[in-house]
Amino acid sequence: MKNKWLHIILLIKVVLLVCGQEARGQQGSNNLFFADHDQKKMTLPFRFINNLSIIPLFINNSDTLFFVLDTGLTTAILTELSLSDSLSLEYSRRVRLSGLGEGEPIQALHSTGNRFRIHDIVGYNQDMYVLLQNIFNLSSLLGTRVHGIVGYDLFNSFIIEMDYPHRLITLHNPVFYEPKYTRNSITFPLEMQGTKPFITAEIEQEDGSRITVKLLVDLGASHALWLDPHTDDRIRLPEKTVETYLGTGLSGQIHGVLGKISKLILGPYILNEPIVAYPDSLSTARATRLGERNGSIGSEILRRFYVIIDYPNKKLTLSPNRSFRDPFRQNMSGIEIESTIPGLPYYQITYIRKNSPADRAGLRRGDEIISINDQSALTISINKIYDIFESKPGRKIKMTVRRRGEKYKTIFYLEDWL
């Protein structure tokens, strides 16, 4: 899957604040485990949309709910429910959650004593936060029903293997797990800072300088690489950057710039010209207070490997897969879209980058997409639309939209703005 660069979702990645104090969440919960204690592993398919991995989860007496996997998240968060969803929870107290973004902490409910189930896996006395506002709009952004985000609760209980080419996740019982290494695999020590996993990597910048950086391993972020120049004076912005909206965090919108570095170096493996998000200092102030980290490595990098995340033994193992040499590409249209009815192919434009091809072609925020290159939007998925927008510079794009009840047709050409 290619990179959705105007559609980055920088999910949580940060501390949760409860009335000004750090929330401990999972640290007071029981781990998840196989109902049959002799079971060695379980494999299940996951959905992979916009570089986010989505798995089914049952909570208490609920129907199937769908949660995004996020290694950067401490305690599970319920982000939204529809009128058709059935779920009973115990609410113990009102809290304030704070994270990436330029705004203030948001209100949520802290629910304790919940039962989680993922097929053969169960967990009791699970903590969860319930957002009082649907700030992420995950269902609309991903075009499918998504109810929340789950992280440390799951990763701390199992050794987790991600097979991106086949969209399979395998959860291994740590008691029976035997490490699998190949001649192509590289294992990094995981530094656990509280509930968050970090690795050390190396970057090469445009001027040829190489810097060792400490990166959060962030399965819940769709970007390739995130770097904060404010954490190290040697981290410099590339000569060519573009200011843009990067996504939404717990504390509001995240702005910054996008650019490219020469290389990301992971042991023997070199990824050339990855696209890097450089959030501004206001958006990341709370995150950088958590410790001496320089940024994060997201799913646009991780999807290029077979990944084994081993919290119990503090290891991360990577083996290149068939996507390893995929070029890093960006959305060359300047458009962001979302589904107006999650699960159904009805799309509208939610963001237009200033002076982008789409902007110059007269497209506007709120336009409802009718067709792209003469193909009805009713037959296209969100992933397919972004594949078109990332295909190649100079590609002709014909779009028909509906605006205030009237059809509007326009043509523009994709531009590589990095």
CA terminus-to-terminus distance, the chain: 20
Buried/exposed 103-129: b ≥16 CB within 10 Å, e otherwise:
eebbebbbbbebebbbeebbbeebbbb
Rounded to whole angstroms, what are the CA distances from 411 to 22, 153, 391, 394, 396?
A: 50, 48, 16, 12, 7
For residue 310, is it within any domain? no
> What residue type is assigned to position 49 of the chain?
I
- Please give the residue range of the domain that contains residue 351: 335-413
Residues 39 and 141 placed together within one structural domain of the fold? yes
Residues 342 and 267 placed together within one structural domain of the fold? no
Q: In which band, very low, low, confident or very high, does the pLDDT at 153 lie, cut at 50, 70 and 90?
A: confident
By C-alpha distance, which of 98, 69, 65 is closest to 82?
Answer: 65
Residues 143 and 287 placed together within one structural domain of the fold? no
For residue 305, is it within any domain? no
Residues 241 and 214 placed together within one structural domain of the fold? yes
Residues 95 and 134 placed together within one structural domain of the fold? yes
pLDDT cut 90: percent of the chain above it: 67
Count CB atoms within 10 A of the CB of residue 224: 28
Last residue of a domain, one of 121, 145, 172: 172
Average predicted confidence (pLDDT) for the chain: 87
**Average pLDDT of span 216-235:** 93
Q: In which band, very low, low, confident or very high, does the pLDDT at 9 lie, cut at 50, 70 and 90?
A: very low
Last residue of a domain, one of 275, 300, 325: 300
Q: In which band, very low, low, confident or very high, does the pLDDT at 291 lie, cut at 50, 70 and 90?
A: low
What pLDDT is stored for residue 256 in this prediction?
86
**Average pLDDT of span 83-111:** 75
For residue 49, is it within any domain? yes
pLDDT (tens digit, 9 = 90+) per residue, 338-364? 998 888 889 999 989 889 999 999 999
Lowest mean pLDDT segment, chosen from 28-32, 111-115, 167-171, 357-361? 28-32
Residues 284 and 351 placed together within one structural domain of the fold? no
**Average pLDDT of span 130-147:** 88
Residues 35 and 165 placed together within one structural domain of the fold? yes
Residues 168 and 207 placed together within one structural domain of the fold? no
Q: In which band, very low, low, confident or very high, does the pLDDT at 317 lie, cut at 50, 70 and 90?
A: very high
* Domain total of the chain: 3
Residues 54 and 152 placed together within one structural domain of the fold? yes
What pLDDT is stored for residue 252 in this prediction?
58
pLDDT (tens digit, 9 = 90+) per residue, 320-332? 999 999 999 889 9
Say whether pLDDT at 14 is over 50. Answer: no
Containing 139, the helix (H) or strand (E) segment is helix 138-142
Say whether pLDDT at 28 is over 50. Answer: no
For residue 5, is it within any domain? no
What pLDDT is stored for residue 133 in this prediction?
82
For residue 316, is it within any domain? no
Residues 159 and 203 placed together within one structural domain of the fold? no
Say whether pLDDT at 219 is over 90. Answer: yes
Last residue of a domain, one of 142, 172, 202: 172
Say whether pLDDT at 11 is over 50. Answer: no
pLDDT cut 70: percent of the chain above it: 86
**Average pLDDT of span 78-93:** 78
What pLDDT is stored for residue 249 in this prediction?
64
Say whether pLDDT at 167 is over 50. Answer: yes
What pLDDT is stored for residue 281 in this prediction?
66
Lowest mean pLDDT segment, chosen from 93-102, 219-228, 300-309? 93-102
**Average pLDDT of span 71-95:** 82
Say whether pLDDT at 27 is over 50. Answer: no
DSSP state of 391: S
**Average pLDDT of span 287-293:** 59
What pLDDT is stored for residue 97 in this prediction?
79
Residue pair 214/293 in contact by the 8 Å Cβ criterion:
yes
For residue 179, is it within any domain? no
Residues 35 and 159 placed together within one structural domain of the fold? yes
Between the CA atoms of 327, 333, 338 and 343, what dihedral angle is there, to the nearest 10 degrees?
-60
pTM: 0.87
Task: Say which CATH number the domain at 354 has.
Answer: 2.30.42.10
What pLDDT is stored for residue 282 in this prediction?
53
What pLDDT is stored for residue 25 in this prediction?
34
Task: Say which CATH number the domain at 100 has.
Answer: 2.40.70.10
**Average pLDDT of span 124-151:** 90
**Average pLDDT of span 179-205:** 93
pLDDT (tens digit, 9 = 90+) per residue, 227-265? 999 899 999 999 999 887 777 665 456 778 999 999 999
For residue 2, is it within any domain? no
Residue pair 221/11 in contact by the 8 Å Cβ criterion:
yes
The residues, ordered by sequence, that sit 6+ positions from 10 with a Cβ below 8 Å of its Cβ are 100, 221, 223, 226, 246, 247, 248, 249, 254, 277, 279
For residue 364, is it within any domain? yes
Residue pair 198/330 in contact by the 8 Å Cβ criterion:
no
Say whether pLDDT at 161 is over 50. Answer: yes
**Average pLDDT of span 388-403:** 96
Residues 132 and 76 placed together within one structural domain of the fold? yes
